Amino acid sequence: MLKDITLGQYFPGDTVIHSLDPRTKLIMTVVYIVVLFIAGSWVSYGLVAAFLVLCVALSKIRLKTILSGLKPLILIMVLTGILNLFYQKGERLLVDWWIFHIYLEGIVKAFFMITRILLLITGTLLLTYTTAPIRLTDGLESLMNPLKKLRVPVHELAMMMSIALRFIPTLIEETDKIMSAQKARGADFDSGGLMRKAKSLLPLLIPLFVGAFRRADELAVAMESRCYHGGQGRTRMKQLVMSARDWTALSAGALLTAAVITLDAFGL
């Protein structure tokens, strides 16, 4: 049960979107977010939305999956909508009751903001849905490479990330085991108030942490005996290669940006 949890909710596939270089997808996601914030009109929004729909269609991620990914954020969207609804002043007053004044502009603004959040989250979900976490780490390391000149420990950070990802299932398994062992000795994890529940987690967390430190120690020795000595002089088996496909995607991103800026300039 606990074993099935994966971080970042990756859905394997072999579509165009899946096979893009992780660097392309990271850059595209950033470009997409920036464009989304530049876009100030419904026309440019329509363009961005069309682009997103195209990407989702290409990735063959089911609509249901995306909707379930959006579910936890409904509250934020509703709140943003309500705030914008009441705070936007305008000319055409629609409702004027007690302290509530709703203008037509407010309704428009609320829709606008909700759409923005919707597009923002869906776009980033698409990144994590179509890219394996380890590929994302590789991509990040490669993109941040120039920062090495500023003595940012890029390789070490990426190594930490990938080890963390590697050990999540192992630690989940261990948590499962410890939980069963404690339950077998009468521990109760489910009942009681918040405080009691938090307290009952203590006998679970302590062995888990001790175990994690022991593992870290053993892993470090194992890595050293396999000649690990930092990023220096290290090669990679799987090198990230930008293909024609990636350049096409990036060009599409550039065109989208140009189009949105142009539309904005003409006030559409």
Partner 1 sequence: MSIIIKTEHLSHSYDINSKDEPAVRDISLEIEEGSFVAILGHNGSGKSTLAKHFNAILLPTGGKAYVLGMDTSDESLTIEIRKTVGMVFQNPDNQIVANVVEDDVAFGPENIGIPSGEIRQRVDEALKSVGMYKYREHAPHLLSGGQKQRVAIAGLIAMRPRCLVLDEPTAMLDPIGRSEVIDTIKKLNREQGITVILITHHMGETIDADRLIVMSDGGVLIDGKPKEVFAQAERIESVGLTVPDTTKLLNALNRHGFGLPLDALSVEDCAEAIYRAVKKETN
Give the footprint of partner 1 on this chain (CB under 8 A): 132-134, 162-163, 165-166, 169-170, 173, 215, 218-219, 221-229, 233-239
- Least distance from partner 1 to the Cβ atom of residue 225, Å: 5
The closest alpha carbon to 17, from 120, 115, 141, 135, belongs to 135
Nearer to partner 1, 31 or 163 (CB): 163
Nearer to partner 1, 193 or 233 (CB): 233
Residue 234 to residue 181: CA distance in whole angstroms: 42
Nearer to partner 1, 132 or 140 (CB): 132
The closest alpha carbon to 256, from 66, 51, 105, belongs to 51
Residue 103 to residue 95: CA distance in whole angstroms: 7
- Least distance from partner 1 to the Cβ atom of residue 128, Å: 15
Q: What does 114-163 look like in DSSP terms, one character per residue?
A: HHHHHHHHHHHHHHHHHS-HHHHHHHHHHHHGGGGGGT--HHHHHHHHHH
- Least distance from partner 1 to the Cβ atom of residue 214, Å: 8
- Least distance from partner 1 to the Cβ atom of residue 165, Å: 6
- Least distance from partner 1 to the Cβ atom of residue 240, Å: 11
Place of tokens 């004044």: 101
Q: What are phi and psi of 201, to 5 degrees?
A: -80, -15
Nearer to partner 1, 120 or 163 (CB): 163
Nearer to partner 1, 111 or 167 (CB): 167
Q: Which two tokens stand for residue 51?
A: 């682009």
* Contact of 37 with 123, CB cutoff 8 Å: no
- Least distance from partner 1 to the Cβ atom of residue 227, Å: 4
Nearer to partner 1, 13 or 90 (CB): 13
Nearer to partner 1, 133 or 139 (CB): 133
- Least distance from partner 1 to the Cβ atom of residue 217, Å: 8
Q: What does 40-98 look like in DSSP terms, one character per residue?
A: -SHHHHHHHHHHHHHHHHHHT--HHHHHHHHGGGHHHHHHHHHHHHHH---S-EEEEET
